[in-house]
A and B are shown apart, each in its own frame.
Chain A
Amino acid sequence: MAYAYRTTEKLKQFFVEVGELAYFAMRYFKEVLKPPLEFKELLRQCYHMGNRSIILVGVTGFIIGLVLTLQSRPTLMEFGAVSWMPNMVGISIVREIGPVITALICAGRIASGIGAELGSMRVTEQIDAMEVSGTNPFKYLVVTRITATTLMLPILVVFGDTIALYGSALVENLKGDVSFQLYFNTVFDALEFGDLIPATVKSFFFGFTIGLVGCYKGYYSKKGTAGVGIAANTAVVTASLLLFVVDFIAVFVSDIFYDL
């Protein structure tokens, strides 16, 4: 009985959270269109989220490209299909691995950062103070951050993809005597707009998800210093989980539109 009660409570809590998140998102859309725009804050957030993540995304992308090529090489060699490596790696990185890995890295770095920052602001009652002083905290803190993540993530994905492909090309160049020109020629031969456009569009949604979850968790963090930790932690977990849900929906939709 207690178990059933707990389950229903958790279920209720889940639905409440989903509803609150949806409301939070709606509020974002309402506020983002309303002037004035906190442009400077937006740029600052963009810098912090974009530029500061380049190294992390770059290193991850490079290693992913490198490892993917190294790992699939023996299997492809078994089939005598090493020449198909650029096609395989190119398509898998551009379509799926690049956006998802970059988004997960950013969820770890950005969502937790936003969660902790807004959480501590909530705990130290800075948000309340802003409300009192007549500044719209939602517009200043949340809208700028969500917009920044939404705009920055696709660019980070492009960077990540490029570096990952470069890492893969490096392996092919060293191990398989494939020139960089031939490698990238083959990659772009294999790629179509049907691969690039859905992946790019998907990245915007990933960015939006990361910003939204991070802001939501921080904005509504519980009182006390423990609340900050919880906000940061749950922001990462929820954002990562939600990323996969969004990814699934994105693939599902692009499947319909692009007829994979």
Chain B
Amino acid sequence: MAKTTLENLRLGIFVVIGTALLVVASYLIGNRQNMFGKTLTISAIFNNANGLQLGNNVRFSGIQVGTVKAIEMLNDTTIQVYMIIDRKVQRHIKKDAVATIGSDGLVGSMILNILPGKGTDATIEEGDILKSYSRIASQDMLSTLNTTNENAAILTSNLVHVTEALTNGKGTMGLLLNDTLMASDLTQTINHLKNASSNADHTLRKLNSLLDRIDMEKSAAGILLNDSVNGIKIQNMIANLERSSMEMAKMTENLNLVVDDVKEGEGVVHYLANDTVLVNTLDNTLKNIEEGSVKFNENMEALKHNFLTRRYFRKLEKKEKKQNNEE
């Protein structure tokens, strides 16, 4: 009988310990899911749940404060996530806190993070809806990466073309890279450029010293550069010049008209310019006049020797001589 009692006692201890272990395990699991203890339920609205599941942890500033209780689809783009929050942390979470969905490590399960706001608002209450912030889903990142990759592929293919052209010596850059003659030419050019620039520098220095030496107040250049009165005069001069040139232009116009008249008009000059017969006649007349004058000179010489007029000419000669002597 005593043996049976001892057996039963041992059995009792075994069963109690076993059951207790099971209960403790259940409690620990349940406690993680906030099944026991005082809690409150709040929610947040997201566009994308990012694979969040029921029972996922809720963290506030990195501390485990609750679990996801329900995920409800309100419409095609709105998902309401309800979460159970431990009442102990209620006073720390303000109404302006922001909920985001993140992952626990790189390969971990999803978690709901509550980020504290400015902390000036009132504390959260049962049924409150927190503001949410949708993080970039990995799929979006991948699609963006895909576009980037495509662009990179295009870029690299272009680069291949460019490098091919470069290695084959096509285009200016290719020539620059491959043509040794051009390289030496370029070196020369650069040397020349250097020389030119040093010369230019030298010249500029000279110019500077020249300019320094110019007496700005008294020299002509200085006056030209500085004197406003003379400047006005020069302006006037230029204006006068302009006027003169305009008048000259008018004159040339008139002259043109005259010339046109001469060419085509009916005046004497026209005939003089254009009538060849008249010219011949005039030529003949001039010849005749020349001949006439030669003959007149002969006549005059004859007159000088003529007894009637000889006396008069001698007088004239004497007068001339006298004048020459006086001078």
Q: Footprint of B on A, CB under 8 Å?
A: 40, 43-44, 46-47, 50-51, 54, 81, 154-156, 158-159, 162, 188-189, 191-193, 196, 200
Residues of A close to B4: CB separation below 8 A? 40, 43-44
Q: Are A158 and B29 within 8 A (Cβ)?
A: no
Residues of B close to A46: CB separation below 8 A? 11, 15
Residues of B close to A47: CB separation below 8 A? 7-8, 10-11
- In the complex, which residue of chain B has the Cβ closest to the Cβ of A165? B25
The answer to whether A188 and B32 touch (CB under 8 A), given A158-B21, A159-B18, is: yes
The answer to whether A196 and B26 touch (CB under 8 A), given A43-B11, A46-B11, A50-B11, is: yes
Mask: chain B, 71-109; 1 = CB below 8 Å from A; 0 = not: 000000000000000000000000000000000000100
Q: Are A200 and B22 within 8 A (Cβ)?
A: yes
The answer to whether A155 and B15 touch (CB under 8 A), given A162-B21, A192-B55, A193-B29, is: yes
Q: Are A158 and B22 within 8 A (Cβ)?
A: yes
Complex CA–CA separation, A149 to B301 (angstroms): 184
**Binding site of A, secondary structure by majority: helix, strand, loop or mixed?**
helix
**Contact sample, A vs B, 19 pairs, CB 8 Å cutoff:** A43-B4, A43-B8, A44-B7, A47-B7, A47-B8, A51-B11, A51-B14, A54-B14, A155-B15, A155-B19, A156-B18, A158-B18, A158-B19, A158-B22, A158-B25, A159-B18, A193-B26, A193-B30, A196-B25
A-B contact count (CB 8 A): 59
B33 interfacial by beta-carbon distance below 8 Å: yes
The answer to whether A155 and B11 touch (CB under 8 A), given A188-B28, A191-B29, A192-B29, is: no
- In the complex, which residue of chain A has the Cβ closest to the Cβ of B30? A193
Q: Are B29 and A50 within 8 A (Cβ)?
A: no
Q: Which of B152-188 contact A (CB under 8 A)?
A: none
Q: Footprint of A on B, CB under 8 Å?
A: 4, 7-8, 10-11, 14-15, 17-19, 21-22, 25-26, 28-30, 32-33, 55, 107
- In the complex, which residue of chain B has the Cβ closest to the Cβ of A45? B11
Residues of B close to A162: CB separation below 8 A? 21
Complex CA–CA separation, A40 to B7 (angstroms): 11
Residues of A close to B14: CB separation below 8 A? 50-51, 54, 155
Complex CA–CA separation, A81 to B4 (angstroms): 51
Complex CA–CA separation, A200 to B29 (angstroms): 14
Q: Are A196 and B11 within 8 A (Cβ)?
A: no
**Binding site of B, secondary structure by majority: helix, strand, loop or mixed?**
helix
Residues of B close to A81: CB separation below 8 A? 107
Residues of A close to B18: CB separation below 8 A? 154-156, 158-159
Which residue from B7, B8, B21, B107 sits with its C-beta under 8 Å from A159? B21
The answer to whether A50 and B15 touch (CB under 8 A), given A192-B55, A193-B29, is: yes
Residues of A close to B107: CB separation below 8 A? 81
For residue A148, give the distance in angstroms from its CB to the closest CB of chain B.
Answer: 10
Residues of A close to B10: CB separation below 8 A? 47, 51
Complex CA–CA separation, A172 to B142 (angstroms): 37
Q: Are B32 and A189 within 8 A (Cβ)?
A: yes
Which residue from B17, B29, B55 sits with its C-beta under 8 Å from A196? B29
Residues of A close to B17: CB separation below 8 A? 159
Q: Are B33 and A192 within 8 A (Cβ)?
A: yes
Complex CA–CA separation, A47 to B33 (angstroms): 36
For residue A254, give the distance in angstroms from its CB to the closest CB of chain B.
Answer: 16
- In the complex, which residue of chain A has the Cβ closest to the Cβ of B55? A192
For residue B80, give the distance in angstroms from its CB to the closest CB of chain A.
Answer: 21
- In the complex, which residue of chain A has the Cβ closest to the Cβ of B29? A191
For residue A106, give the distance in angstroms from its CB to the closest CB of chain B.
Answer: 14
Q: Top 8 closest A-B pairs, CB basis?
A: A155-B18, A188-B28, A47-B11, A47-B7, A158-B21, A158-B22, A158-B18, A51-B14
Q: Are A188 and B29 within 8 A (Cβ)?
A: yes
Known: A51-B7, A154-B18, A191-B25. 14 other contacts (CB 8 A): A40-B4, A43-B8, A47-B7, A47-B11, A50-B14, A155-B15, A155-B18, A155-B19, A158-B25, A162-B21, A188-B32, A192-B29, A193-B26, A200-B22
Complex CA–CA separation, A172 to B32 (angstroms): 22
Complex CA–CA separation, A40 to B8 (angstroms): 9
Residues of B close to A50: CB separation below 8 A? 11, 14-15
Complex CA–CA separation, A192 to B105 (angstroms): 20
Residues of A close to B29: CB separation below 8 A? 188, 191-193, 196
Complex CA–CA separation, A54 to B8 (angstroms): 15
- In the complex, which residue of chain B has the Cβ closest to the Cβ of A40? B4
Residues of A close to B19: CB separation below 8 A? 155, 158
